[in-house]
Structure 1
Amino acid sequence: MKLVAVSAGLSSPSSTRLLADRLAEATRAGLDGDVEVRVVELRDLAVDIANNMVTGFPSAALREVIDAVTEADGIIAVTPVFTASYSGLFKSFFDVIENTALTGKPVLIAATGGTARHSLVLEHALRPMFAYLRAIVAPTAVYAASEDWGGSGDAITDTLPSRIERAGRDLAGLMSGLSGTAKRGEDEVVPFAEQLAALRKS
């Protein structure tokens, strides 16, 4: 299986890249068999993404990354929080991907920020975006504030390592359930008579 982690961190080293790496490792640990893991740093493709937005044509390097993402069995998408939302670079990358290319694709969403006050970015920005793209978003999303690295959690919030582990298990479960299936296009319509027959059997 192929797992691609997309990191929109701008600095090097980057806490966003570190979170992407740890989520990828947790997902790999939850999968049986060989898993090919690739981490994509969007900052290396910033100019290519901007040019694609203007011209409508991706460079060879960007096309190769887009193909890797759309052909993966699972995706980890991690962004830093800018102005209470995902970064422009993160959004621009997913904007240049055809909006049906992620249909039925398992996606784990995550974000990093300086304060826990921005943790709802996962629910008000990232989850709706991937729902629009008709991806299957893992139930556990991970937000890592500065104090989470090395923090001990509290009575309500688990530690960052435990959240990463749970999110990795979620994505691994989705990938295992969907791997080997045909690529999904438009939703298949089940005839009404067939639906009734299934109800009678149960």
Structure 2
Amino acid sequence: MNPARLAVVTAGLSVPSSTRLLADRLATAVGRHLADAGRPVEVETAELRELAVDIAHNLVTGFPPPALRDTIGTMARADGLIAVTPVFSASYSGLFKSFFDVVDRDVLAGKPVLIAATGGTARHSLALEHAVRPLFAYLRATVAPTAVFAAPEDWGASTDTRTTALAERVDRAAAELSALMTGHRPPPAADEVTPFADRLAALRVPPHP
């Protein structure tokens, strides 16, 4: 069986980068789910910071330099895409947006995509829904239902409940992308809704003795 081709695009600016770390975790999880389905996978990762000058040249001239052209070609041939951006000013980074500005909008038409982001505060997590998801909807990609956001507190010890929550989101999103890549329906999202009565009970102050 031919291996599934998974392209990963990460727009982290530092080395090491939490954005790259999240991208790697997602790619590993997708690979695990595809292996469980009997499908080997080939992963190719592009660090957009290494292509920043090429992206700027393409924006000005309309022609991609060879390295950028190869990256876009890899993404076009892939069976699925993981796209991860840091969040600045409550939206995707300029580098991330500039890259997709130079990608022909037909390249991602119908392609399964998993979107993810990192940020300095959990309040930035909404950027995935109000900025990143609409971008890929415009590009006519098939976006996995679960988007993954990682704030600094998500990178804790293995016994930290927040870290466990990140691992669960990564696994659920990876399962959805691998299902889309193999032509299956994504697994249903887990019911994480807490009843209002339970939320209210948690806020009640216990009486003084």
Q: Common fold, TM-score beyond 0.5?
A: yes
2: CA distance between counterparts of 1:164 and 1:88?
A: 25
1: CA distance between counterparts of 2:85 and 2:51?
A: 15
Alignment partner of 1:33 out of 39, 44, 49 = 39
TM-superposed CA distance for 1:153, in Å, is 3.5
> Which residues in structure 2 correspond to 1:40-79 (within 5 Å)?
40-79=46-85
1:19-68 Cα distance to aligned partner (Å, 9 max, x none): 00000000001113220011110000000000000000000110000000
2: CA distance between counterparts of 1:80 and 1:67?
A: 23
TM-superposed CA distance for 1:70, in Å, is 1.2
1:83-128 Cα distance to aligned partner (Å, 9 max, x none): 1100000001011000111100000000000100010001000000
> Which residues in structure 2 correspond to 1:1-202 (within 5 Å)?
1-31=4-34, 32-150=38-156, 152-153=160-161, 159-177=165-183
User: CA RMSD, aligned part only?
Assistant: 1.4
Pick 1 or 2: higher relative contact order, CA cutoff 8 A, min separation 6.
1
2: CA distance between counterparts of 1:26 and 1:86?
A: 23
1: CA distance between counterparts of 2:70 and 2:168?
A: 33
Listed as ranges, the gaps of 5+ residues in structure 1 are 179-202
Identity of aligned pairs, percent?
66
User: TM-score, normalized by length of structure 1?
Assistant: 0.84
TM-superposed CA distance for 1:158, in Å, is 6.2
1: CA distance between counterparts of 2:156 and 2:41?
A: 28
Letter in 2 for 1:90: F
2: CA distance between counterparts of 1:153 and 1:135?
A: 33
